Structure 1
Amino acid sequence: MILRQLFLLSVCVLSLPTWAMSVTIIDDAKHQRSGAWTQVLPYAYYTENLQWGVGVGVGAAGHIQPSSSLVATATVTSNDSWMVFLYSGDYQLPFADRVFFDTTLYQTNFTRDPQYINGNEEYSGERAGSNDSSQSNRVYTHSKGQEYRFRFRYLLPIGHGKDSPVHTFRVKRGEVMEGYEAGAKEWNPLTSGRTIIQLEPFYWKQDVGEYNQLQDSNTSAGLALELEYDNRNYHQNPTAGSRQRFNVTRDWGDSGRPSWTMWEFSASKYISLPQTSWAQSQVLAFGMATSDTPTWNHSSYNNGEQQYHRPAWFAGSRLGGMDRLKGYETARYHDRSMIYYSAEYRFTPNWNPLPKVPVVNWFNVPAWYWVAFAEIGRVADEYNLATLHQDMKYSIGGSIRVMMEGIVLRGDFATSGDDSVFRLGINHPY
């Protein structure tokens, strides 16, 4: 799971300029692209758990439709780990131009994968991943992962989605130009922003070998339904507006795994501060999320054994990783419910030396961002607001982010009660 983040960064530098039912025009681009294009990028890396690795990524856009994009990659490492990944997005269905189709497919084989799951004999009386669990309560295993997601998104004909299902962003110095915003006019879905209904069938499995039998489940398959109101002025680098999402995930189970239901709500808000002589822009960004699994304490009997209706550790309420509590490892905490709060100060300096840096200047790099952030959150075995706001975990840190070909690349350093973590990724966390 941690390793997937490194891999996502490696493919993001293929510089896809399209995302979220839109076409982005980089107004001040040094390297202007017109029509369809394809890029191939070999890469190499090293991590403690993967050791040395090499791979190749392929990115393409505009071949089938102006808004469509594709990313694929494959990598192998010196400790016999490997991963393959395919993402294709923003394909308009020919019989319904307001319906867009995305797909994410990947398989992994990691020979040394740290997981915060039950199985460490030194902590037999403690539930791994709970809010009070020890940092050392984890196992290293040979894991095999699969994830397949198919997203159907319907853009409602209201607000900024009323006239055209594909929005055109014109961007200069990493920020959307006046008149090309997709929201932030006012908080009213009928007049501002884009409202999207998403239906997502999925299959997700993490085979952790000898530790499988100690978990509630290692497989999740079902359907997620989401309602999103995206009232940000520009999804890649918002400086104004807000966003709210509510989704319900259902796994109906089968003879080998329990059924379960989970809901999650998340929201973000962006406030632009006054410009100064040394800052192109300053933005305060606030984010929050909360989730619950109402079926958590429900049980039934399967082949004579009591079975609780809970998701696998990687599919339920969780904290830690790339976007939530960045000072902790991925899925460091997982339980029935979760709450999370974050604040970021995003500073865009007027000074930008990156277009003069060798190799970097092969790409359009119109802006970079200096970010300070603070986060708190916790998981619990009940959805109780009083409990969720006690003994909360924290994470603080800083980040350097770069707008490259319309996509934000980021390097985050965060410290927490457990550890200090540096990781690379794509996109602002919210």
Structure 2
Amino acid sequence: MSASDLPLDTALPIDEISRARLESDGLRLALVDAHDQDAYESWFRVESRGFHDGEPTPEHIAWRRTFPFDGNRVTGVFDDTIANPHAPVATTVCWPAELTVPGGRSVSSWAVSGVSVAPTHRRRGIARALMEAELRTASALGQPVAMLTVSESTLYGRYGYSPAALARDVTVVTKRARWTGPQPTGRVHFLTAEQLREVGHEIVERVRLRTPGQISYSGLLWERQLGFSPSDQHAKRLRFIRYDDADGTPQGFAVYRLVENADDFTQHELVLQTLVAATTDAYAGLWRFLIEMDLVAKVSAHLRPVDESLRWMLDDFRAVQVSEFDHLWVRVLDVAAALSARTYARADRIVLKVTDPLGFADGTWLLDVSASGSATVTPSDEPADATLSVNALGSLYLGGATAHHLAATGALTGDAERLDGLFRSPVEPYLSIWF
């Protein structure tokens, strides 16, 4: 099921607790009607400013408004005493999206984005009011999980979020990288962004359920991947390639640009924006094409999976350099619904005590996993085999973090070995976009 199919009324009234809290400080929490051109434009300008983007042009605003707003919940905090009271001093935008979990399944999740607070209104509890309001709204909508990608990794732990999928920046020194991997059997084609728009998204959707951490996305997020945003400074330099297998079936694509070295024309940098492959043959074919490109000394790629196979396909392992960072953060709201949505590595019966200062996930739960890996989750009054914070549960949820590491931090006590045997995923969690 796609996010657009979800039967959710995202126009629920504004959260009363956060509304009252902000009102006591002379501020107003309100939904923004994204169909109202003036209201949305004011909101979008503030959101852009909050992320230090340039002032959006009329073309950019018009482009943003070409995407349907149904399912998006746009929120602002307003101060009626400022010079421009129609512009919010804080923003969020949220929507339901399908999050892939271990076992080739997905769970409906509340995607939280566009969180900004004007520097004129910091340290007034606005961010807390916004974030907690979105959690209560997500819970009211029956969303088992909330999720976000973070610009700063110190802000969201206090609300129960925790890193669940890491990512890497990858640099390949191509002059020392001789291909020793599989010999691709298909072929690479150049094409336009318009030609890739449909077939590329079909490939993205085809592979989405293979990797925990991937989310359903289309519209604005997909078009941005292809450089269609009028604010994309690199759009004119983007190149688009598609890989077809030996039978002519499209199995992967990549988007990249070339940056000239002013001192040496033979030392270009190839900046890989995205690479998606449905088969190992397509993966090898695309990477080999990029690495062996003439007049290129370095390939750099942002937001790649931590289990990238590339370095194992080159004769010099050290030709590939990586740096790792946290990317997707997850917050469990409904323990029973979230844990029963995924599959597990083995049969077991374990009792988990989850501590949650905000109360959503607080409680003791019996996780009963069958031989097939499916689970039933019910409240329990049995003694807990393991006790963990809601943050630790979020990190465990997609199967990337280990209970052993979480136990070392003090966020988890009890039978870490059994938890690792249950929760670890054979496929490392990974999210290929920002949202």
Query: Could you state the TM-score of these two structures normalised by the residue count of structure 2?
Result: 0.22
The structure that is helix-richer by fraction is: 2
Query: Could you state the TM-score of these two structures normalised by the residue count of structure 1?
Result: 0.23
The structure that is strand-richer by fraction is: 1
Structure having the higher Rg: 2
